[in-house]
Amino acid sequence: MNQVKNRINRRAFLVAAGTTGVALPFLEGLPERSAFAQTSTANPVFGLFISAANGVQQKYNSEPESFWPTEFGPLTRESMQAFADTRATGILADYADKLLIIGGVNLPTGGARSCGHAEGLSQCLTAKSPTGSGNNSTSTGESVDTVIASKVNPQGVSPLSTYVGVKAGFINDRLSFSGAGQVRAGEQNPYNVYNRLSGQLTPGTGTPSPTPMVDLVSRRRNSVNDLIRDQISSLKNSSKLSQADRNRLDLHFQSIRDVEETMGGMALECSESSLDMDALTAMNTGNAFRGNDNFEKVVKLHADLIGLTFSCNANRVATMQAGDGTDATQYTIDGQRRERFHHISHRINSDGNSGSAIAGAAELHAKIDRMRMETFKSILDKWSEYSTPNGPLLDNAFIYWTTHVAIGPTHSMSNMPIIIAGSGGGALTQGAYIDGKKALNGEVLTGILRAYGISDNFNATQALAGMLTS
C-alpha cells in the first residue's frame, strides 16, 4: 500500500510541468522518462523592428553620399563624430559602441517590379519575394516578429504592432504578417497603446501599488514549484536516483525560481513615471497623432511605450511602420513646410515618374534622414534610462532600423540601410560597420533570431548571419 502511495505520478508531474513551463533535466537514474531541460534564461531578449519610408540619401548618380559611415570597420564615438556633420548616421556617435551598421544587404527582389513601396514593405521582415502587383503586392510568408512571438511570448501574445502617420488607403499596413498575405494592422494612436498597457503599470505618483502584472508574476513565483512540490519530493526520494541526480534536480528547480524572480523584477519596473503623459494626452486630441509636425513625435512616443512594454515584460517583440507606403508627410525644414516626402524622394512633384523638379531635393532628403536619426538617438537615450533587473533596457534589447526601399528615385532594394542598436543581452555584435557583400536580408534576420536563442534559418542562404552574433 505504501509502495503505491509513494510511486511517482509521472503523468501528473508532466501535466503540472507543462502548464508552468517546467522541464526536467536529464536524470541518469530515469533515462527512459526524463528529457533534456529546455533552454531557459533569466535574461530575456527584447526587440523592436522599425521600417521607415522612401529610402535614404545615399550616393546616387551625381548626388553625394549623406548617410553611411565613411568606411567599413570598427565604430567609435570619435570616428563617427568626424562625419556627423555630413552623414546622418554620425548623429548616433554617442552610441557607437552599441551599434551594428550593415551595408551591402539586398532585399530578395533587388528592385521594384511594379510598386516598390508595397513590395519593399512586404519583404522587410519576411525576407521573401512578394506576390501580386502594384499597391496590392503582399507577402508570401510570415514576418520575423511573428516567428519570434511564437517562440518566446506567452501563448496567444502577438507582437506589439504600431504605425506612424496617416493611413491614406493606397498602401497602409504592410510590415507585419502572421502568414502569407495575412497582414497585421499597427496601432496609430500612442494613447491607445498606453491604455492597453496601463493596467500593468505602477502609478507614477504616490506609493506604488500592486498591478495586475505584478500580482500575476508574484502568484507564479509562489506557485510554479509549489504546484508540483509533492511530485518533486517523490521524484527526489526515488531509490533509482543517485545523489548526482538529486543535485541536478535541486539546481534545476532553483534555476526556475531564479528565472521567475527576474520576471517579477521586470514587472516591478513598470511605472508610468517615465512617460510624457502630457505628450500622450495631446496626441489623443482630434487627429493630432496623424499631423505632419507630429510625425517624429509619434515615432518617439510609440518607441517609449514599446520600451516600457519591454520593461514590464509584457511582450518580447514589436514593430513600427513609420509612414504609409508612399509617405506623404510634409516636414518643416529650415522653417519652411516642404513638399511631400514621397515627392522629395522622387526628386519631382509627383507620385509617378514625371513632374516638375524639386529644387535641392537630395539635400532635403538628407535633412529628413538627419531628423530621423535625431529621433533614433532620442529613443536610444530613453531606452538607456529604462531599467530591467539585468541593467538598462538597451543592453538587453535591440532596435532594428531600416527603410523599405534603399534609394527614392529608383526604388532600388540593394544596399538597404540597416542599423541595429543594442546587443540583445550581449548576443549581437556591436561597434562595427560591416559589409554584407550582397547578402539577402534573411541573413540578418537569421542573426536576430539567434540572439533570441531561436535556431531557425529565416530564408537565409549565405553566411552573414554568423557575423552578427558575438
One domain, residues 201 and 220: no
Q: Identify whether 38 is part of a domain.
A: no
Residues contacting residue 452 through CB under 8 Å, at least 6 positions apart: 45, 47, 148, 151, 152, 316, 424, 427
Strand pairing partners for 138? 131
| pLDDT value, residue 224 | 46
Residue 158 identity (one-letter amino acid):
S
Residue at which a domain ends, from 224, 241, 267: 267
Q: Identify whether 41 is part of a domain.
A: no
Q: Identify whether 119 is part of a domain.
A: yes
| pLDDT value, residue 32 | 40
The count of domains in the chain is: 2
Residue at which a domain ends, from 222, 242, 267: 267
Residues 340-357 have pLDDT tens digits of 999 999 999 998 888 899
One domain, residues 293 and 258: no
One domain, residues 29 and 88: no
Q: Identify whether 187 is part of a domain.
A: yes
One domain, residues 6 and 71: no
Residue 246: domain span: 2-33+213-267
| pLDDT value, residue 466 | 67
One domain, residues 223 and 331: no
One domain, residues 196 and 226: no
| pLDDT value, residue 99 | 98
One domain, residues 202 and 313: yes
One domain, residues 349 and 457: yes
Residue 157 identity (one-letter amino acid):
V
Q: How far apart are CA 7 and CA 3, in angstroms?
A: 6
Q: How far apart are CA 18 and CA 22, in angstroms?
A: 6
Indicate the burial class of 428 (C-beta count within 10 angstroms; 0-12, 13-18, 19 or more).
buried
One domain, residues 348 and 221: no
Q: Identify whether 404 is part of a domain.
A: yes
Q: Identify whether 28 is part of a domain.
A: yes
One domain, residues 142 and 247: no
One domain, residues 109 and 224: no
* CATH number reported for the structural domain that contains residue 184 in this entry: 3.40.720.10
Intervals of the chain under pLDDT 70: 1-42, 199-232, 248-271, 461-463, 465-466, 470
| pLDDT value, residue 230 | 65
Residue at which a domain ends, from 267, 284, 310: 267
Q: Identify whether 405 is part of a domain.
A: yes
Residue pair 308/275 in contact by the 8 Å Cβ criterion: yes
Q: Identify whether 39 is part of a domain.
A: no
One domain, residues 14 and 81: no
